[in-house]
Structure 1
C-alpha cells in the first residue's frame, strides 16, 4: 500500500502529466506563480539549451523529478534561445486565481491549460523578431505523383504582419522556391516529408521542418475551410487557385489554428504569386552572391546589408522581399524606377519623408499582436502614432505623383479618421508594457475612471474631508477616522462622546463597532460605502481600463484591411526613398530594362566590395565594362565572355558584380555603373567558389558538377550564367575537357548570356570557332619580379596565372616557392602536361640551394646561400678582366662545395 501511495503523483503533477501528454512534441512551460516550470525530460533539455540550473521536485514512480524554471518576466529571452534552436514551446497558463481554487478544497489545483504553442514560424513578440526581416511560416504540399512528379504548391505567411501568399511549384524548383522565401518554419504533408527525393532539402531545415498528417492538407475540404476562416460563402472573389494551392493554404490556416488555439490572426486575403513573375535564383546562386546574408550567415557583408537604408521595419522587410524576388516584367520595373526618380528629383521631399518614416512605429506587427490578443497598451500607442505619421506623410507627398506613389497616397488617405480620433481621445502619452498595469487611458477621457483613480490615489484626502464634516455636524472636534487591518476604516471618539453618539444625541446614524478602555469606535453607512469604494477603486480603475483596451483593440482589428494597406504603402515609400538616397550618395545610374537580350554595363562596380574598400581603406573601386548583348542585330542569343587572368586579379569579383547589377536592375533599383542596359533575365545561375557537402556524401568536385549540371540542363536564352573555374577540382585533362564541353553547350544549346572564368588558357582557342564567344582578361603588370594586379578587364587572353606570385604573397616558405618555380620552368620547357612524371623522374628532388635550406630534412627559410654571399661580395666595376675570370672560377667552386654538402 505504501509503495502505491508513493508512486501516485500529486494533484499538481497529475495535472502537469495530463497537459504534457496532449503536447508531446513541445517543451511545456507550466505556469506556477511568477515562474514557468519544466519537469522530467523537458527540464533536462531546457537546462542544457539555456544553461540554467537543473534541480528536482519530489518523486514520481520512485525517481526524482528533474525540474528547472524561468521567470515569467524574462520568458521572452529564454523563448528566443529555444526558438533559435528549433524547439516548440507549449505555454501553459493559470486560468483562475489561486483563491478560487482554494474554495474547492485544500487539495484543489489551480485550473491551467495551454493557451498557445510557440513555434519558430508563429512568434509575434517584438523582442523575438528582427524588425527588418520577415518571419515566414510555409506549408508545402504535393498532389498526385511521386518524387518530383505531381502538382506542388506552397503557402506562406508572416504571422507578425499578416501577409498570406500562395504559389504553384514543380519538383525540381522546390528548393529554389523555399530559398526565395527563407522559411523560419516549414510544415510538410507527411507522405512528402518521408519521400527520399526531398530528404536532403528537408534535412537542411533541421527541427524547423516538421511533418503534419495528410488530413491537414485535404484538398477536397480546402475551399470550405478557407472560406470559413475569412467569413465568406465562396472563394470566387479571391482569384483562381489550383487544387494544390488551396491544399497548401488550408493547411496553413489549420496549422495556425492548431498553434494559436482560440486566437484568430489578422491574415490578408491570399495573394497568388504567378509563375515566371520573378527571376528564378537557385539556392547555390543565392549563397554564392551573398544576397541577404554573407557566407558567415550574417547580414553584414551581404548585398542587402549594403543597400538597406530604409528607416522603418516594414520598409526593411519589403526591401529584403524584393531582393529575394526580382521582377521579370519591364513595365513593373519601370513603375518602381519612377518612384525612385521622383525622390531623386526632389531632395527636400526625400529628406522630410525619410525623417518621418524614422519616427514611425511598426503598424503591421502591432496590429497582428492585437488581433492575436497578445498586444499591450504600447501597441495601441503604435497604431495611434502610425495613423498620425501616415497622415502626415500622405500630406507631404502632395499631388502629381508617379503610379506607385499615387497608389500609396491613396492608401494613406483612406485611413479611418474616427479610429484615430478615438485613440487620440482615450490614450495618454505614455503606456506600460502590460495592460494589467493600467495607467494608459488619458486623464479626463472617462469620468468614472477619473473618479476611481482619484479615490484610489487620494483616499487620505477623502477620509479627511469626511472626518471634518462629521466633526462639524456632531460638534465633537476630537472625532477621528482611523484604519486598521481588522476593522478597516472606523470613527473613534472618547468614552463621553461615544455614549452620546450611542444615545442618538449626535448627527447621523452611528453604528457601534468596538469599545476600548478610553475610547469607543463607530462607523456610518457613508463611511462603509467610502471604504468599499476605496478598497475597490484600484480594481474598478483597472477594470475600466481593460474594458477600454478591449474596445479599442476591437476597433483597430475591425479596420485591419485599411491599416495593412497603409502599412504596405509606407513600406513601398520607404524602399523608394531609401534606394533613391543610395543612388544619390553612391552615384548609381538608372538602368534601361526591357524585353531584349541585351546586357551592356559601362563602368560597373561591385557594391559590396566597393563599400568595404571605402570603409576599410578609403580606396576606390576599379570599374569595368561588360557587354554580353547579342553580337549582331540578327542574333537571337547572347554573348559569352571567356575571362582569363591571374589569381587575385579580380575575376570572381567581376563575375559577381554583373550578376548583382542584373538583380538590382530588376528589383527596380538604380545600379552601381555609369550606365546599364539589361534585357530581362528570367533565371540567374552562379557557380563561383568551392564547397563540399560532406553530410550528403558529396565532394567539392561532385558539388561543382551537380551545380553545373543544373545550369546546363535548365538555362535558356534569357538566363544569365556566371561560371568560375569549372573543372579545376579534378585531373587537368579531365577538367579541361569538361570546361571545353560546357562552354560549347552554353554557346550552342543554352544560347544564354554568360561569363566563364578559367585558368585553362587552352580554352581561348574556342573564340576562333564559336561566333559569340570573346576572350577578355584581367590585366596585370610585372615589376621587378613581382606582379601588380590592375583589376582591369580588357580584350585578349592571359598566358600565365601568376599562381606562384600569389603563393609568395600568401607567405609560403621560400623553399616551396623556389621549388615551384623550378617545376614550372621544367613544365613549360618540356610541355609534358599530364605526363609530367617522366621529366620529374629526371629532375633532382631538391636543388642544391634548396638542400642547403633543409639540413636534416628540416627547412630553414633563413639559411644563408654561400653562392649568393660570394656573389654579393663582388664589385664588378673594380674588377680587371683577369680578376673577373678568377671570381667566376671561385663562384663555381663555391657552388660545387655547396652541392657536395
Structure 2
C-alpha cells in the first residue's frame, strides 16, 4: 500500500494548517471527521470512539467523527473544555467533483471558527446570560475596553485604564478576551473566567479600525456614532477584525457602538462582586446569589437586562428615578402588572433570533419568533396606559408600528413551523400559488392522475382507458386493441402518442401527461426549492426592519424587568428608596434578600435591623462588634446589597431607605487564599484592603470584616486601627467596620463620625443565644469559646480554652508590664490535664425501667391511671 497522502488528506492538512489552534470539523457526508492530533484530543474530550483511516509516514492515521445533525451538543462540550473549532463544509455537490475525474476532491472550506465569545446557537448559550466577546487595547497612554454580544447585537466601548481592567472584566464576565500578543494579561483573563485570545498588532491598528467599522456598519464615517479615542477605536477594530476571521465574512448584525462614559455606573471591583455574591455564589453557580434571589423576570432578555443592572448600578439620578417611577406605577396597578407578565411570558427571544437570521444560521422558528415577539409586543403596548411614566411609555412606543411585517409573517408562515429550513412545510397554504400546486402534486399525485384519466375518457369516449405506471415507461395511457383504433385515427392520433403495443393492449402518452409526470416526480424537490425562496424573501423583509425589531426586543426586556421588580416589591414587602446626591445612608428595618429568602423556605423569620451612616460632610463609620455567628457579616452585606438594588432602580428590602449616591462599593469580607499566585490568606486580605484605601472617595460605601485577623494579634490590631484612621481622615467615606478587636471601640471617642454598634446576644445557663439585633454600643466580649462549643469541639478542649481565657483576661486586668509577659509569667502552656474519666451511668430506677416499657399510644385512660399508681409505688420502693 502506498504511503502517499490521498488528495482528500492533502486537502485536510492544508485546511488544518490554515487554521492553527483549532480542532477541524471536516465535513464528509453526514459526519464531521477529525484526524491526527485533532482526533486524539476530540475523542478524549468527547468520550467517543477512536478509529483509523489509512496511514501517514508509516503510522495509522487516528480518526473520529460526530454526526452533523448532533454537532451542536459536541461543540458545546468542546467549547466548555476550552477548545476552538473550525468547521469545514462541503462547498459543492459531490456529483460535481466526480465529473472532474475519479481523483477529484469535493471542494471544502472553513465557513466558521467557533470560539467561546462568538456563539449564537440557543443550545450553546445560556438563555438568561449575555455571551460577551471583549477586547482590550492600549494606544500611547490611553486604554479602552470594548465588548460585544453577537447573539443579541449589543456593542459597547469605554475608556479603561489598566488598573480598572480587572473590575470591568468582573462586571461584564466575558467568555473571551482579545488582547495584543505578549500583553501579559493571562492572570486577569483567568480570574475573570475568560478565554484569552492574542492577536497581532495589525488587529489593533486604530486607523484600520475606522475602515473596518465603517464597512461593518455601511457608513462613510463613524462621526454619527460619537467621538471615540484612538484606544477605543483600536479595541472595537480588533473585535471587527476577529469577527471577520471567525465568521468568514458573514458578519453578525450589530447595533452601532455605544460609548459608556467613565463614572456612569457604581464602581464595584472583582473582590467586592465575589464577596457580595452579586451574580454568582461563592460556591459557584447562580443559585445563592443576589441575582437568583431577586430574578422574577419571565423572558430571557429581561433576565439578561437584570444581570446588567445589578452588575452596573446607575449613578444617573434621572435614570434611577425614572426606573423607580415605573416600578411604583406597576406596584400600584397589580392587575395591569399581572396581565403584562402573562403576555410577556409568551414573548420569545427576538434579539437572539434576529442575530441568527443575520448570520444565516436561522430556521423557520426564528422567523416565527420574530412574528410572535412583535405580535405580543403590540398586545402589551395596548395594555399600557399613556400615563404609565417615561420608561414604560417609551417602551410601548417601540412596540408598535410593525403591523406590515407581522401580517407578512402571519400570512407566510404556518402556526408551528419546523426547526430546519431543509425540512420544508413551514410556508402557509395560500401564500404561494406555485407552491400550493406543487404540494398538491407531491401529496395528491394519484388524485391528479385520476382526474386526468377522467378527462381523457370523456375526450375519447373509451371507457376502458386507464392511466398506469411502471418503472420502465413511467406514466402511460393504456387501452384495449379494439378501442385503440379510435385513438390511432385522426384527429386523436395528433394528441395521443403511441408508445408500446402488447398482445392485448396498446399504450399511449400525451405531452400533458409527460409534463405532469415530470412535475410529480420533481414535486418534492421543487416544493423545497420554492420554500427556500420564500424563506429568503422573509429573511430579507425581517432584516430590512432589524433596527425597529431590536428596539422592540429591548422594550420587552425593559417592561419585563420593571414588572419583575414590581412583583418582587409586592410579594416581599419591599419599599421605594429615596436616592439623591447627598451622603446619607439611612436604612430602617433592612433585610438581606438572599438570607431572608433562605429562611422563608425553612419557615423562619429574618430579624431586620437599622443602619444610619448619615454625618453630613464628615465621615460616617460604624464600628461593629459582636461574636461570630451573631450576624455581623450578614448585616454588612445586606446594607451593601440595598445600595446596589436602589441604584439599579429596584425597591429594597427595608421599611424605609434614604441613600445618597454611592460612587464606589468596596467589600473586604471573608477569608481565602490565592495559591496560584502565591498569596496567603493574609496577603489576599491586605491586597484587597490596599485597593480600598487607595481608591475610595467620599461618596464610596465600604464594608470591612475582621481586618488584620490573618496575622499575629498585635500586628492585626495595629493594622485594623490604622485602616480605620485612614478611612476616617483620608477617604472620608461611609463605612461599616466589623472587628473582634474590642480595643478599637475607644476610637469612637477620638474620631468624629465613628460610632460603636454591636450585634446582641444573651447568655443563659452557659448557652449563648444569638438575637441578631444590631444596636448602638460595644460588645463586652466575643463569646468565642461558647461558639467553639456549639461547633462541637471536645468538652476538654472547651474547658481548657475557658481556663486559658480566664488567665489571659486576669493578667490584662492586673496590668502586665507588657502583653507578651502573660505568656512568660503565667503557667498557660503546661500540659493540659487529661480529661476526667466519665462517671459510670447511674443504674436505672424501677420506675424508669417500667417507663421504657410503655407505649403511650396504646393506653386507655383507665390503664394510664393504673400505671400512674404503679409508678408511684415503684418510686417509693426505689
TM > 0.5 between the two?
Answer: yes
Helix, strand or coil at the partner of 1:204: helix
Alignment match, 2:630: 649
Equivalent residue in structure 2 for 1:99, among 95, 99, 110: 95
Unaligned runs of 5+ in 2: 846-878
5 Å-filtered alignment, 1:667-678, equals: 667-678=648-659
Alignment match, 1:229: 216
For 1:487 and 1:177, locate their aligned partners in 2 and report how far apart those are by CA, in whole Å. Answer: 73
Alignment match, 1:890: none
For 2:53 and 2:793, locate their aligned partners in 1 and report how far apart those are by CA, in whole Å. Answer: 61
For 2:508 and 2:95, locate their aligned partners in 1 and report how far apart those are by CA, in whole Å. Answer: 31
Matched, 1:864 2:864: no
For 1:152 and 1:835, locate their aligned partners in 2 and report how far apart those are by CA, in whole Å. Answer: 55
For 1:701 and 1:360, locate their aligned partners in 2 and report how far apart those are by CA, in whole Å. Answer: 50
Report how far residue 438 of structure 1 moved.
1.0
Alignment match, 2:165: 174
Report how far residue 435 of structure 1 moved.
0.7
CA contact (8 A) 2:173 2:193 kept: no
Matched, 1:625 2:610: yes
1:470-514 CA distances to partner (integer Å, 9 max, x unpaired)? 344444444332223333222334555567756768555444444
Helix, strand or coil at the partner of 2:630: coil
Alignment match, 1:398: 385
Change (3 A) 1:217 1:437: same
Alignment match, 2:571: 585
Equivalent residue in structure 2 for 1:547, among 510, 533, 550: 533
Equivalent residue in structure 2 for 1:762, among 743, 750, 763: 743
Matched, 1:163 2:154: yes
Alignment match, 1:80: 76
5 Å-filtered alignment, 1:207-246, equals: 208-246=195-233
Report how far residue 236 of structure 1 moved.
1.7
Report how far residue 380 of structure 1 moved.
0.7
1:382-426 CA distances to partner (integer Å, 9 max, x unpaired)? 11111111111111112123111221122123x332212211111
Helix, strand or coil at the partner of 2:562: helix
1:214-273 CA distances to partner (integer Å, 9 max, x unpaired)? 101101222232222211111221111111111111111111111111312111111111
For 1:461 and 1:275, locate their aligned partners in 2 and report how far apart those are by CA, in whole Å. Answer: 72
CA contact (8 A) 1:732 1:834 kept: no
Helix, strand or coil at the partner of 1:220: helix
For 1:644 and 1:728, locate their aligned partners in 2 and report how far apart those are by CA, in whole Å. Answer: 14
Alignment match, 1:737: 718
Alignment match, 2:853: none
1:500-546 CA distances to partner (integer Å, 9 max, x unpaired)? 75676855544444455554443222211111111122222111111
For 1:407 and 1:543, locate their aligned partners in 2 and report how far apart those are by CA, in whole Å. Answer: 42
Matched, 1:152 2:133: no
Matched, 1:188 2:208: no
Query: Which segment drifts farther, 352-361 or 121-130?
Result: 121-130
Change (3 A) 1:810 1:24: same
Helix, strand or coil at the partner of 1:409: helix
Unaligned runs of 5+ in 1: 145-149, 853-862, 873-901
Equivalent residue in structure 1 for 2:277, among 263, 287, 290: 290
Runs ≥4 in structure 1, deviation > 6 angstroms?
Answer: none
Change (3 A) 1:629 1:105: same
Helix, strand or coil at the partner of 1:7: coil
Matched, 1:48 2:44: yes
Matched, 1:610 2:596: yes
Report how far residue 113 of structure 1 moved.
1.3
Equivalent residue in structure 2 for 1:139, among 127, 135, 140: 135
5 Å-filtered alignment, 1:176-575, equals: 176-190=167-181, 194-196=182-184, 198-204=185-191, 208-413=195-400, 415-494=401-480, 509-516=495-502, 519-575=505-561
Matched, 1:787 2:768: yes
Equivalent residue in structure 2 for 1:804, among 769, 777, 785: 785
CA contact (8 A) 2:177 2:194 kept: no
CA contact (8 A) 1:361 1:385 kept: yes
For 1:516 and 1:109, locate their aligned partners in 2 and report how far apart those are by CA, in whole Å. Answer: 48
For 1:510 and 1:839, locate their aligned partners in 2 and report how far apart those are by CA, in whole Å. Answer: 128
For 1:526 and 1:869, locate their aligned partners in 2 and report how far apart those are by CA, in whole Å. Answer: 111
For 2:37 and 2:190, locate their aligned partners in 1 and report how far apart those are by CA, in whole Å. Answer: 24
Report how far residue 586 of structure 1 moved.
0.4
* Aligned residue-pair number: 839
CA contact (8 A) 1:334 1:668 kept: yes
RMSD after superposition: 2.0
Report how far residue 682 of structure 1 moved.
0.6
For 2:454 and 2:820, locate their aligned partners in 1 and report how far apart those are by CA, in whole Å. Answer: 113
Matched, 1:63 2:59: yes
TM-score scaled by length of structure 2: 0.93
Helix, strand or coil at the partner of 1:31: strand
